[in-house]
């Protein structure tokens, strides 16, 4: 599997709702910070309880998300992102990600993601929207 | 007592347990590893004979090369921790089996195996141990405690010698090998405990320190050859290995000469003498590692310390070549057993941390398992050829050693900054900047991808692909682009016109022909109007042919007619030119007459091609128009048509910036101010910048830089102004650093001391407020004090960074605040290397990861009165230059009903500004 060119990564990001509001210059700057990793079929991208430090975006292939008992939680395809929750709650990975196919993922480090959110708050808002879809009431400690 | 020992060993409160665990691990595995290595060597000599040792070493070299390749391979799939545990398990099983085999008169091959295995295992485990430790320590930690761990190793080494010496006579070999098994089992449990209880250093360069990470060997190699620092480090390490073997040979031969005159068995005396030397040097190593290395590093810095070993070797060999005396031989023993094993090894452990993240572990393996045999092999070959000229060879190696160390010294801060830069997101780069950096192949591949994207179903992607393709400025692509566009929908073609207009090819014949084609043959009126406007803007329409559109309802056609009257290339005759401009002027006035948004917008679009004073006067008025679209058009037009002659408008533009929160407006008006170059606006712009977003602050910087040296005195005044907010002063310092770094450096000393004093005050009381005044609920006061502290520190760091050769201060400051421990320690190192020691020592408390109690102690010592009462503290805040300090002080005095708080507020009202007064009145009324 071949890695993507910088511009192809930029265009891929543009098609993801998280980044769709950003202009080309900003997107290219973000694409430049993306590391590309190739995983074989059935290979784990990360495991439960692993220390989390990166956000993942699927550029090619399919990924299965499983809980600690290896029950399937979800199937993800090109353009989907995962692994972001642990970056914010600073807890280890609560699920594992396994490739169903030969997969190319783009990864972004936590520190870069935070820098990008501070420059482009729309990304932070998109993430908030994604999280708030899944909760009815935010528990107060 | 605990504190005393902690301070002596440089251990911070809270980390004693983990440091002790690492020290224990270091001592125990060193005992096991050294016992095994020594026993194996002894038994090999006994059973096979020393004559066969070179052969064993030769095979060992190849085995170690094989093992290090194996390690590098497995690092792709598994963590260094797992590799270390596996190595220890293999060692434990092997030595257990060896201890059993010893009872059965093993064959010759067994002794070869034992010797080779023990030597290789010892080196491999050294690499594993340091890689394991690296996961838990950043560069700043390493400076404090790595020498301690090195001493732990030497301590283990010494103990192993004693154990062998005292026990072998009584218990023999097999139980000692069982002791090795026990040390390995203990080390496995210790390492597991450490991995569970000690938090690993956060480094998001790779996902999960102990997790699987696919590190492609090819990528690692590519990264290695592109890192000058890593190449130099590896080369220096190889030279050190060669020098080590050469010097060992030289001192043995020198000592042989000295002792050969002795009537006693010279070999025994020589061995005893060497043993004595090594014992003393080992003790010296432990003492240096425990007590001195940390302080030497702090005093002279790593970059200076790395020159000491090569200088020592150089002076040794330059004397040695002339005199061959016992004393020099002793110095040579010290060089190898002391200088190399303590200073050089410790230096390497720190230097390796400046290498790129992906290379750190492979470099460690290369050094510990690969270069030792390679060095052994090369040296033996070279020495065989040289025979009597070893000292000259050593001298040549010293020259290389010193040169490479100098290069390393030069590259070290750069490499650290490169590592920091890897985290920089280049928001200021445009797509064309990225394209310019592409290689030929990248360009070719990208163009191919872009043409594929042009066929996408997603219109946004198609438009972006087109825009990007045009950024390549490659005329040969135009035909293909045009043929694709011709097949597209009308809406797409309309959108394409905007992209063409802002591209490098806006006036290219092929594009003009395409647009003329749209104008003549397309049926959709919108496309025809937009195409007409495009050509009019380029001055390509004859005014007479388009004049009739002046009364058109279609605003694009009307605008085309007006623009053509003003700017057409066919407007050649002076009389008709004047007449046409007059008509155009009237038509433009008409567009603005009825306050219709669309008409005003098109009017402003027309004016952004007109750089006359009249046009600027007209546009400026629309900055205050009650419609965002109009304001945006006006600000864009001003960014296009203003110049130095428009100074009379600079304060109006400034007001518009003040009154707008829209980023587009702010940025374009800042550009307009940059065109006008009116340095009278600098102070206001800088003060306004405290509310700006980061892209607006970048634009502010460009704007003021454009104004040039005239701004220097204003910027100096701003930076010195105690009343001004730190955010604005930071920007002023950054700009002054670029305009005149010498001026900035001049004012730093007078600012820095007072700022540090303020920082200490806020820091101490911010952290102590709830302890000093336990009867009050003071979270608000605490937060305010700590926020002020952070703001001052930011200012100090930006000020120092701007006055230093650091090319990107913001990047360093961001890294200082980062949670990524590696980045933070690299940022500290960068700052330390770029400012004077005197100033660094003053601020080190604020930035280094020193325990809070130490920081508080230092802050307390710097305060005039650390025992302020709450009223005194609030009184000080009330007199502060910060409005927020004053508000908090008034608020708390009122809330806690301090004596005469009303009188105090009334007094304040007389002297204070509007916003403060408003709050003061609210308090009084409540």
Per-residue pLDDT tens over the stretch B863-879: 988 888 888 898 888 88
Distance from CA of A131 to the nearest CA of B (A): 23
Query: Mean pLDDT across the stretch A66-79?
Result: 92
Q: Which helix (H) or strand (E) holds B635?
A: helix B628-641
Interface test with B, best of A53, A93, A94, A119 (most B CBs within 10 A): A53
Nearest 5°: phi and psi at A56? -120, 140
User: Which residue has better confidence, B696 or B8?
Assistant: B696
Residue B202 has pLDDT above 70, yes or no: no
Q: Do A37 and B431 touch (CB under 8 A)?
A: no
Nearest 5°: phi and psi at A81? -120, 155
**Structure confidence at residue B9 as a pLDDT band (50, 70, 90):** confident
Cβ neighbours of B130 (radius 10 Å): 25
Instruction: Report the SS3 class of residue B693.
Output: coil
Q: How far is CA B664 from the centre of its chain?
A: 31
CA distance B337 to B278: 7
> In chain B, which residue's Cα lies nearest the Cα of A104?
B214
Instruction: Report the SS3 class of residue B530.
Output: helix
Distances from the Cα of B309 to the Cα of B145, B341, B343, B344, B740, angstroms: 20, 10, 7, 7, 40
Q: Do B210 and A51 touch (CB under 8 A)?
A: yes
What are A26's two structure tokens? Answer: 């900003």
Report yes or no: B37 and B123 within 8 Å, Cβ to Cβ.
no
| Each residue's pLDDT tens digit, B13-71 | 878 888 999 999 999 999 999 888 888 888 887 788 766 776 777 788 788 888 888 88
Provide the β-strand partners of residue A96: A66
Q: How far is CA B45 from the centre of its chain?
A: 52
Of B546, B542, B619, nearest to B588 (Cα)? B619
| Each residue's pLDDT tens digit, B354-383 | 888 778 778 887 777 777 777 767 766 776
User: Which residue has better confidence, A89 or B270?
Assistant: A89
Distance from CA of A99 to the nearest CA of B (A): 14
User: Which residue has better confidence, B61 or A7?
Assistant: A7
Residue B346 has pLDDT above 70, yes or no: yes
Q: What local confidence, expressed as pLDDT, does residue B448 receive? A: 92
Q: Do B434 and A46 touch (CB under 8 A)?
A: no
Q: How many residues does chain B have?
A: 926
Residues of chain A neighbouring B820 (CB-CB closer than 8 A): 110-111
Q: How many residues does chain A have?
A: 141
Q: What local confidence, expressed as pLDDT, does residue B213 receive? A: 43
Residues of B with CB under 8 A from a CB of A: 200, 202-212, 214, 423, 425-427, 429-431, 434, 438, 442, 445-446, 449-450, 453, 458, 460-461, 464-465, 467-468, 694-695, 814, 818-820, 823
Residue B264 has pLDDT above 70, yes or no: no
Q: What local confidence, expressed as pLDDT, does residue B76 receive? A: 66
**Structure confidence at residue B388 as a pLDDT band (50, 70, 90):** low
Nearest 5°: phi and psi at A109? -70, 155
Q: Do A7 and B427 touch (CB under 8 A)?
A: no
Nearest 5°: phi and psi at B645? -75, -5
Of B441, B639, B432, B494, nearest to A24 (Cα)? B432
CA distance A77 to A59: 8
Residue B10 has pLDDT above 50, yes or no: yes
| Each residue's pLDDT tens digit, B719-771 | 999 888 888 999 999 999 999 999 999 998 889 988 999 999 999 999 998 88
CA distance B208 to A50: 6
Residues of chain B neighbouring A110 (CB-CB closer than 8 A): 204, 819-820
Query: Mean pLDDT across the stretch B152-173?
Result: 84
- Average confidence score pLDDT of chain A: 88
Residue B215 has pLDDT above 50, yes or no: no
Q: What local confidence, expressed as pLDDT, does residue A105 receive? A: 93
User: Which residue has better confidence, B175 or B813?
Assistant: B175
CA distance B717 to A93: 52
Q: Roughly what angle, to the nearest 10 degrees, separates helices B883-895 and B779-802?
A: 170
CA distance B435 to B663: 26
Q: What local confidence, expressed as pLDDT, does residue B50 receive? A: 65
| Each residue's pLDDT tens digit, B749-763 | 889 988 999 999 999
Residues of chain B neighbouring A11 (CB-CB closer than 8 A): 449, 453, 461, 464-465
Q: What local confidence, expressed as pLDDT, does residue B447 receive? A: 93
Query: Mean pLDDT across the stretch A28-43?
Result: 90
Q: What local confidence, expressed as pLDDT, does residue B209 receive? A: 36
CA distance B205 to B420: 11
CA distance B259 to B251: 12
Q: What local confidence, expressed as pLDDT, does residue B570 receive? A: 84
Question: Angle at the Cα of B892 (from B888 to B897), degrees rounded to 5?
Answer: 155
- When CB atoms are compared, the residue of A7, A29, A44 closest to B446 is A7
Residue B98 has pLDDT above 60, yes or no: yes
Residue B854 has pLDDT above 60, yes or no: yes
Q: Do A29 and B426 touch (CB under 8 A)?
A: yes
**Structure confidence at residue B700 as a pLDDT band (50, 70, 90):** very high
Q: What local confidence, expressed as pLDDT, does residue B696 receive? A: 92
Residues of A with CB under 8 A from a CB of B: 4-8, 11, 14-15, 20, 24-26, 28-30, 32-33, 37-39, 44, 46-47, 50-54, 107, 109-112, 115-116, 118-119
Q: Do B423 and A109 touch (CB under 8 A)?
A: yes
Report yes or no: B813 and B794 within 8 Å, Cβ to Cβ.
yes
Q: Do B204 and A32 touch (CB under 8 A)?
A: no
Q: What local confidence, expressed as pLDDT, does residue B173 receive? A: 85
Q: Do B425 and A112 touch (CB under 8 A)?
A: yes
**Structure confidence at residue B468 as a pLDDT band (50, 70, 90):** very high
- When CB atoms are compared, the residue of B206, B423, B429 closest to A25 is B429
Q: What local confidence, expressed as pLDDT, does residue B288 receive? A: 82
- Average confidence score pLDDT of chain B: 85
**Structure confidence at residue B845 as a pLDDT band (50, 70, 90):** confident
| Each residue's pLDDT tens digit, B107-141 | 888 988 988 898 888 888 888 888 888 888 888 88
**Beta-carbon-side half-sphere exposure of residue B129 (alpha carbons within 13 Å):** 29
Residue B656 has pLDDT above 50, yes or no: yes
Interface test with A, best of B357, B425, B441, B467 (most A CBs within 10 A): B425
CA distance B57 to B230: 28
What are B836's two structure tokens? Answer: 């004077």
Q: Do B211 and A46 touch (CB under 8 A)?
A: yes
Residue B211 has pLDDT above 50, yes or no: no
CA distance A119 to A30: 11
- CA dihedral of residues B384, B385, B389, B390 (deg, nearest 10): -40
Q: What is the largest CA-CA distance in chain B?
A: 123
What are A22's two structure tokens? Answer: 């950003």
CA distance B209 to B203: 8
Residue A58 has pLDDT above 80, yes or no: yes
CA distance B150 to B27: 9
- When CB atoms are compared, the residue of B208, B467, B818 closest to A111 is B818
> Measured between alpha carbons, how far apart are the two ends of chain B, in Å?
55
User: Which residue has better confidence, B274 or B545?
Assistant: B545
Query: Mean pLDDT across the stretch B524-549?
Result: 90
Tell the residue number behind the tokens 């929207």, with chain if given: A129
HEC letters along B848-893? CCCCHHHHHHHHHHHCCCCCCCHHHHHHHHHCCCCHHHHHHHHHHH
Residue B423 has pLDDT above 50, yes or no: yes
Residue B916 has pLDDT above 90, yes or no: no
- When CB atoms are compared, the residue of B425, B442, B814 closest to A30 is B425
Residue B465 has pLDDT above 90, yes or no: yes
CA distance B265 to B781: 81
Q: Which helix (H) or strand (E) holds A45?
A: strand A44-46
Residue B860: which residues within 8 A CB-CB, separation 6 or more? B764, B866
Q: Do B425 and A37 touch (CB under 8 A)?
A: no
Query: Mean pLDDT across the stretch B691-695?
Result: 87
Q: Do A109 and B468 touch (CB under 8 A)?
A: no
CA distance B643 to B807: 31
Of B201, B195, B61, nearest to B119 (Cα)? B61
Ranges of H-type helices in A4-120: 6-14, 24-33, 85-89, 110-119
Q: What local confidence, expressed as pLDDT, does residue B204 receive? A: 61
Distances from the Cα of A123 to the Cα of A118, B327, B464, angstroms: 9, 70, 20
Report yes or no: A107 and A56 within 8 Å, Cβ to Cβ.
yes
Provide the β-strand partners of residue A104: A38, A60
Of A54, A61, A59, A6, nearest to A30 (Cα)? A6
Residue B266 has pLDDT above 70, yes or no: no
Q: What local confidence, expressed as pLDDT, does residue B12 receive? A: 84
Interface test with A, best of B77, B201, B208 (most A CBs within 10 A): B208
Residue A63: which residues within 8 A CB-CB, separation 6 or more? A45, A56, A75, A76, A77, A80, A82, A97, A98, A99, A100, A103, A105
Tell the residue number behind the tokens 């391979």, with chain if given: B73
């Amino acid at each position: 599997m071949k890695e993507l060119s910088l511009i192809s990564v930029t265009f891929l990001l543009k098609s993801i709702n998280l980044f769709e509001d950003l202009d080309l210059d900003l997107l290219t700057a973000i694409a430049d910070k993306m590391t590309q990793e190739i995983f074989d079929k059935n290979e784990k991208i990360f495991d439960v309880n692993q220390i989390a430090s990166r956000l993942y975006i699927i550029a090619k292939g399919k990924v299965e998300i499983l809980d600690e008992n290896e029950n399937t939680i979800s199937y993800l395809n090109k353009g989907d992102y995962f692994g972001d929750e642990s970056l914010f709650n600073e807890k280890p990975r609560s699920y594992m990600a396994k490739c169903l196919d030969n997969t190319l993922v783009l990864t972004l480090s936590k520190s870069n993601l935070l820098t990008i959110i501070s420059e482009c708050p729309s990304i932070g808002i998109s993430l908030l929207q994604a999280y708030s879809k899944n909760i009815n009431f935010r528990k107060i400690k | 007592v605990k504190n005393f020992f902690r301070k002596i060993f440089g251990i911070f409160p809270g980390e004693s347990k983990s440091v002790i665990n690492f020290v224990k691990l270091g001592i125990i595995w060193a005992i096991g590893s050294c016992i095994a290595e020594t026993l194996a060597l002894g038994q090999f000599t006994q059973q096979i004979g020393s004559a066969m040792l070179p052969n064993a070493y030769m095979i060992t070299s190849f085995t170690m090369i094989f093992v290090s390749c194996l390690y590098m391979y497995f690092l792709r799939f598994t963590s260094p921790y797992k590799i270390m545990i596996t190595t220890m398990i293999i060692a434990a099983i092997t030595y257990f089996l060896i201890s059993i085999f010893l009872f059965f008169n093993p064959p010759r091959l067994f002794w070869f195996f034992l010797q080779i295995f023990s030597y290789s295992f010892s080196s491999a485990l050294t690499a594993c141990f340091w890689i394991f430790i690296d996961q838990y320590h950043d560069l700043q930690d390493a400076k404090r405690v790595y020498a301690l761990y090195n001493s732990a190793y030497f301590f283990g080494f010494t103990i192993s010698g004693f154990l062998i010496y005292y026990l072998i006579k009584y218990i023999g070999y097999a139980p000692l090998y069982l002791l090795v098994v026990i040390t390995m089992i203990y080390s496995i449990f210790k390492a597991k405990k450490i991995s569970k209880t000690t938090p690993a250093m956060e480094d998001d360069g790779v996902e999960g320190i102990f997790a699987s990470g696919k590190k492609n060997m090819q990528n690692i190699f590519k990264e290695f050859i592109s890192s000058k620092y890593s190449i130099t480090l590896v080369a220096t390490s190889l030279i050190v290995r060669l020098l080590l073997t050469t010097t060992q040979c030289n001192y043995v031969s020198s000592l042989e000469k000295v002792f050969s005159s002795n009537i006693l068995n010279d070999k025994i005396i020589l061995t005893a003498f060497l043993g004595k030397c090594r014992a003393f040097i080992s003790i010296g190593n432990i003492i240096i590692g425990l007590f001195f290395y940390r302080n030497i590093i702090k005093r002279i810095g790593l970059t200076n310390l790395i020159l000491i070993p090569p200088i020592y070797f150089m002076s040794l060999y330059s004397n040695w070549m002339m005199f061959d005396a016992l004393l020099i031989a002793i110095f040579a023993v010290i060089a190898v057993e002391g200088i190399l094993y303590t200073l050089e090894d410790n230096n390497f452990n720190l230097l390796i941390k400046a290498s790129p993240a992906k290379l750190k572990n492979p470099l460690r393996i290369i050094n510990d398992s690969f270069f030792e045999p390679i060095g052994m092999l090369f040296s033996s070959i070279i020495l065989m050829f040289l025979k009597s000229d070893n000292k000259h060879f050593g001298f040549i190696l010293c020259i290389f050693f010193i040169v490479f160390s100098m290069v390393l010294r030069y590259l070290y801060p750069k490499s650290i900054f490169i590592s920091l830069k890897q985290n920089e997101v280049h928001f200021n780069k445009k797509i064309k900047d990225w394209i310019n950096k592409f290689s030929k192949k990248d360009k070719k591949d990208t163009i191919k991808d872009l043409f594929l994207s042009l066929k996408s179903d997603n219109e946004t992607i198609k438009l972006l692909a087109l825009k990007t393709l045009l950024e390549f400025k490659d005329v040969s692509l135009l035909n293909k682009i045009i043929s694709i566009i011709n097949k597209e929908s009308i809406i797409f073609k309309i959108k394409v016109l905007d992209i063409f207009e802002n591209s490098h090819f806006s006036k290219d014949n092929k594009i003009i022909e395409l647009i003329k084609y749209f104008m003549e043959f397309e049926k959709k009126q919108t496309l025809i109007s937009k195409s007409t406007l495009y050509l009019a803007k380029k001055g390509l329409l004859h005014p007479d042919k388009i004049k009739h559109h002046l009364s058109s309802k279609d605003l694009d056609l009307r605008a085309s007619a007006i623009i053509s009257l003003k700017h057409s290339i066919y407007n050649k005759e002076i009389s008709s030119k004047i007449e046409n401009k007059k008509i155009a002027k009237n038509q433009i006035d008409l567009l603005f007459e009825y306050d219709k948004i669309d008409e005003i917008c098109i009017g402003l679009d027309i004016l952004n091609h007109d750089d006359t004073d009249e046009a600027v006067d007209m546009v400026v008025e629309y900055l205050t128009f009650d419609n965002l679209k109009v304001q945006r058009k006006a600000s864009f037009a001003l960014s296009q048509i203003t110049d130095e002659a428009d100074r009379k408008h600079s304060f109006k533009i400034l007001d518009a910036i003040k009154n707008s929160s829209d980023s587009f407006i702010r940025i374009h008006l800042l550009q307009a101010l940059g065109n006008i170059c009116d340095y009278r606006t600098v102070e206001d712009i800088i003060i306004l910048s405290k509310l700006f977003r980061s892209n607006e602050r970048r634009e502010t910087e460009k704007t003021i830089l454009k104004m040039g040296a005239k701004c220097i005195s204003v910027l100096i005044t701003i930076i010195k102004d105690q009343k001004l907010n730190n955010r604005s002063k930071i920007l002023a310092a950054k700009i002054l650093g670029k305009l005149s770094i010498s001026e900035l450096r001049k004012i730093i000393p007078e600012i820095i001391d007072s700022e540090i004093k303020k920082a200490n005050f806020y820091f101490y009381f911010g952290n102590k407020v709830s302890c000093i005044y336990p009867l009050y609920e003071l979270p608000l006061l605490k937060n305010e004090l700590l926020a002020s502290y952070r703001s001052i520190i930011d200012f100090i760091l930006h000020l120092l960074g701007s006055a230093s050769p650091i090319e990107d201060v913001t990047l360093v400051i961001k890294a200082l605040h980062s949670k990524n421990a590696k980045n933070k320690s690299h940022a500290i190192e960068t700052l330390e290397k770029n400012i004077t020691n005197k100033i660094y020592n003053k601020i080190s408390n604020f930035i280094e990861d020193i325990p809070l109690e130490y920081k508080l102690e230092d802050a307390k010592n710097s305060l005039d009165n650390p025992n302020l009462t709450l009223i005194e503290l609030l009184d000080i805040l009330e007199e502060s230059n910060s409005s927020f300090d004053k508000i908090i002080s008034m608020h708390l005095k009122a809330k806690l009903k301090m004596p005469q708080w009303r009188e105090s507020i009334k007094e304040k009202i007389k002297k204070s500004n509007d916003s403060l007064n408003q709050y003061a009145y609210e308090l009084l009324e409540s």
